[in-house]
Structure 1
Amino acid sequence: MSDHDARPDRIDPAGLAGLAADLAGFTVDAVTDLLDERSIAALDRENVLPARLRLRERDEPLAVLVRLLLLGETVAEEHVRTALPSSYEAAAAAGLLVVEHGSVRAAVDLRPTRLGEEDLLLASDPSEAATGRGVRPDHVLGLGGASATLARLTIRRPVSRALDLGTGSGIQALGLSAHADRVVATDVSRRALDLAAFNRDLDREVRRVRSERRVEPSAQVARVAGPAQIELRYGSLWEPVAGEVFDLIASNPPFVISPRGGALATYTYRDGGRSGDDLLAGLVADLPRMLAPGGIAQLLGNWEVRAGEPWQTRVEGWARGTGLDAWVIQRELLDPAQYVETWLRDGGLTPDRDGAAWDEAYEQWLADLDSRQVAGVGFGYLVFRNQGARPPWVRLEEITGTIAPVLGETIATVLDVVDTLERTDDAALADWHVRVAPDVTEERHYRPGEADPQVIVLRQGGGFARTVRADTVLAAVVGACDGELSLGRIAAAVAALLDVDPGALWAQVARPVRGLLTDGLLLAPSDAAGALP
């Protein structure tokens, strides 16, 4: 049997319930405790060998599950039956397990995954690290780096209708179901939808079992009573949801910029099938008709940076064309050769496996990028909001340093503050009582022997870890922001010390103060943008 003959969505209800019972204790913490730090770190780099060496020939149930489902090993049938006492037969019948001559291997990768505070079990196709060979064009990815990034970026506030566009294995849809009344998940791959359906149903059953056993994380208890049902729909891009609008759209679309045909296979999970970055540009252009009033879309993407142009040029044109609030953050920029190498290896093609195919594909890919004068390819985050009647706020920036691991609430708060500030003039802003965020520190740099600082830096410890240069006037105003005095009174006091006009000083600092409020270095008294004046 081929691994792709497996139909996990067709496992019968009793088998699914049995599988949930057998796997309820198969959690991130349990696997972490079983392995050592070296093995865990290697797994994060998609290297399974240290974990295989640590668990070599161990046959207790948890070790068997890790070897079989996570490391892609072939295990003796008797040990698998012991590890899966309630579900072995059903899992084999559905093709989840492939039994050959008394040995068993898994047709899918099934591993515990942590999404926020919740433990999920996520099935996907086995990785190249587990199989030792390149992935198929219809490969269904698990929680890859991009998927994990999007999950950490997604705003987790309650919404009515949410959309996971290009769901793959369903990981974003599972996350959305915790805070949306209804979730629609779409994909152009029927195999992806099969795995997403299995993951949806297994998640429901595992939560039920853990609730009965009281072994689930505390955040998961609240979901047991009734998470949103996930509706799966087949089709390309917006086709399955034509005419509908959503309060939140989360999408890790097939954004890889790759040539069509020739020596290169097209991978459904990553290649959009269009020229250059046209797929992402088209998705952005269609957002105004897909977002409900106040609705937010969060996407990941690649964009081309043409020779002689700043990276913002193309993306800003997309953003302003929507009429929506738009916030784009470029996280990295690869030269064309780096980009090609990264994605050739992603598909399992390496020069040591097949040097001739590597050279041919490499040349074809570079030629495609050169044909459009691509000097680099950017990767980053795109956030859009249907803000209504006011003029849109558009921000494009590059942030390449280390940032907080979870940013959903940070992004939501920034959007809230932007909306409030757009409706607040400087006179009204002067009445605000604000305070410095607790994670902000100030650095002053002096030349030897001088009394006055040459550089003053305000540094944010969390969020996007921003650093903001301040002059002595702005630093003095910020230093007095403890929530007791209004900004106007603080500015007047600083003006008195410097013997300057209070109105002129406030005019000088009002704009940078707005920036500090937007970025979260200054906070309203309640810490919540919704309570701002």
Structure 2
Amino acid sequence: MSRTPVTDLAAELTAFFAEAGFTADGLAAHLGPDALDALYRGEPAAVRYATADDSALSGLIRAFILRDPLPATALADLVGASLAARLIDARVAHADPHGTVRLALDIRPHVIVGEDRWVFSDPDAALTVRVPGPDHVLGVGAASLSLLQSTPVTPVDSVLDLGTGSGVQALGQLGAAVTATDVHPRALDLAEATFAGAGADVELLEGPWFEPVAGRRFDRIVANPPFVVGLPEVGHVYRDSGLNLDGASELVISQAPEHLTDGGTAHLLAAWVHTHEQSWQQRVASWLPDTGVAAWIIERDCADPALYVGTWLRDESIDPRSPEADERTRAWLAHFDAHGVTGIGFGFVAIRMIGDQPSEILAEEMPQSFTDPLGPEVEEYFERTAWLRDRTTDEIADARFRPRPGLAREEISVPDEDAGVGFTRAALRLTRTDGPRWSHDVDTHLAAIVAGLHPQGLSLRETAELYAMANGLDEQSLVSAAVPAVVDLVRHGLVMPA
């Protein structure tokens, strides 16, 4: 039995949308680049101007994305009388006594893992004047898109989507047996509709955190939890956990390993505080067990407290000039000051179970811009670190390697101030041109050794010894220095084991 009548009409509605071209690609082609950009910027007037014609697709955009009011007869003309009546009966569309209807939900088309999908959620304040309430169910936002891009989609048997919201992350994992949980009943109502629209059979469980799946383990966990860092209170269910500061991130990161199978992985969005007393790397690493996990913790951004508070107040449509904003800001910043918070970091946490071995935790910043999905990189990172973990220093020295295809050697030169003429080298770097575009400063010796690596050629040791012999360097010293340097290059994928 369905949780709500919205679920019962979801498949029919999304089938109609697909036939009508109300898809992400269809919108892009119909609106054109300028109006599409205006849509993403939250400028409805420009989108409304671009859809002022009488075409069916323009009508669907005005009704379902801009949520413009329209006569009930016009809605029937758009989607058919039967489906229009069902939308009104299910309260997907609200009708007033004068026969005017307006969509009460946001049903937006997206391409998720190469498939056309429609996400059922509450409308936000981007295109209509409204203040999201405490029980608001978020649609597809920047954070959820980031997690989608950083989560692998390779086949596994079982997936847990913790705190599913409107079901966005689960849509990227539908090849597996998916379990979706949430503490918010309304979120599960809308997630059920999202899954029905995708023709997906997903197990829905209600409850907080990992309680609905106590004692169960999964091959993959994805979670976009309510990670907003602040006071221990709940203003909006989708973002506020009721736990102090970064307690929500600590809870999910620390408990995820208990629910992973051997070799299973977790892919999480998280936020953490910076303080003078402890580095953020130490703080987040302390949330993980001493044995059994490999973890890659990536900080993508760090905001100062004032910027952070202002951003989240705008998220709930509070005018930063208002008395309410003044009161909320003072309380929030005072709470940060009381706990020594100097900044708030945000990023990804990937965890892999590695059996009865000491945990390996790398926490690092990734500030560079890139467009490639991070999911394949996360999987490859765990494979690269597993290769390193299984080998001694001598075995690494005696292994063969190859530079990554597309690896670039960059030499940066600046005017030679001492000579007063010409240029002098300021930096020498090896940089990936794919994935997250990692770049490492190297010296001429390491650059030359990497250039000499070949999968059918000499080992790392032999290559370094040959280079040392040709350049009058101590062979053993060069090998001893080259091995840890190449290990760093392997960890970031600039050099690959043959």
- Describe how 1:158-307 pairs up with structure 2 within 5 A: 158-178=155-175, 180=176, 182-204=177-199, 229-260=201-232, 266-307=235-276
1:359-508 correspondence to structure 2 within 5 Å: 359-446=326-413, 448=416, 453-486=425-458, 487-508=460-481
Query: Is the 1:404–1:465 contact (alpha carbons within 8 Å) kept by the matching residues of 2?
Result: no
2:323 maps to which residue?
356
- List gaps (5 residues or longer) in structure 2: none
1:11-51 Cα distance to aligned partner (Å, 9 max, x none): 475x4443233111311111001113222223223332321
In the alignment, is residue 68 of structure 1 matched against residue 63 of structure 2? Answer: yes
Displacement after TM superposition at 1:254 (Å): 0.4
8 A Cα contact 1:320 1:394, kept in partner: no
Rounded to whole Å, the distance in 2 between the matches of 1:311 and 1:280 is 13
Displacement of 1:170: 0.3
In 2, Cα distance between the equivalents of 1:22 and 1:504? 69
- Check the 8 A contact 2:292/2:356 in 1, yes or no: no
3-state secondary structure, aligned to 1:326: strand
Distance 1:111 1:337, change over 3 A: same
Q: Which moved more, 1:90-99 or 1:487-496?
A: 487-496
Q: Which position in structure 2 is the counterpart of 1:510?
A: 483
Aligned with residue 85 of structure 2, among 86, 89, 95: 89
8 Å CA contact 1:287–1:322 kept in 2: the answer is: no
SS of 2:268's equivalent?
strand
What letter is aligned with 1:187? D
Give the Cα–Cα distance (whole angstroms) in 1 for the partners of residues 212 and 301 of structure 2: 32
Deviation of 1:138 (Å): 0.6
| Contact 1:436/1:478, CA 8 A, preserved across alignment | yes
Q: Which residue of 2 aligns with 1:147?
A: 144
Q: Distance in 2 between matches of 1:391 and 1:509?
A: 25
Distance 2:127 2:227 in 1: 25
Cα offsets for 1:441-471 (capped at 9, x unmatched): 1112346478984521111122221110111
Q: Is the Cα–Cα contact under 8 Å of residues 285 and 322 in structure 1 kept in the other structure? A: no
Q: Structure 2 length as normaliser, TM-score?
A: 0.93
Name the structure 2 match of 1:107: 104
CA distance in 2, matches of 1:44, 1:12: 27
**Amino acid of the structure 2 residue aligned with 1:319:** L
Matched letter for residue 358 of structure 1: A
Question: Alpha-carbon deviation of 1:335?
Answer: 1.0
Answer whether contact 1:76 1:102 (CA < 8 A) is retained: yes
- Deviations 1:378-407 (Å, cap 9, x if unpaired)? 111111111112222111111112023411
Matched residue, 2:40: 44
Report the Cα distance in structure 2 between the residues aligned to 1:306 and 1:505, rounded to whole angstroms. 39
Correspondence 1:157 to 2:154 = yes
Shift of 1:113: 0.7
Amino acid at match of 2:489: L
What residue number does 2:15 align with?
A: 21
Aligned to 2:288: 319
Alpha-carbon separation, structure 2, partners of 1:366 and 1:446:
44
* Partner Cα separation in structure 2 for residue 146 and residue 452 of structure 1: 43
Q: How many pairs are equivalent?
A: 487
Q: Aligned partners of 2:257 and 2:87: how far apart in 1?
A: 44
Preserved contact between residue 372 and residue 434 of structure 2 (Cα < 8 Å): no
Counterpart-to-counterpart distance in 2, 1:12 and 1:345: 32
For the residue of structure 1 that corresponds to 2:302, the secondary structure is strand
Aligned residues of 1:300 and 1:381 also touching (Cα < 8 A): yes
Q: Distance in 2 between matches of 1:351 and 1:452?
A: 50
Deviates more, 1:422-431 or 1:100-109: 422-431
| Secondary structure of residue in 1 paired with 2:285 | helix
Could you tell me how far apart the structure 1 residues matched to 2:423 and 2:31 are? 55
Using the size of structure 1 for normalisation, the TM-score is 0.87
- Per-residue displacement from partner, 1:409-450 (whole Å, max 9, x unpaired)? 111001011011111123322343322222321112346478
Cα displacement (A) at 1:376: 1.0
Write the distance in 1 (CA, Å) between the matches of 2:436 and 2:248.
28
Deviations 1:268-292 (A, max 9, x none): 0000011111122122222231111
Q: What is the distance in 2 between the residues matched to 1:152 and 1:232?
A: 23
CA contact (8 A) 2:7 2:193 kept: no
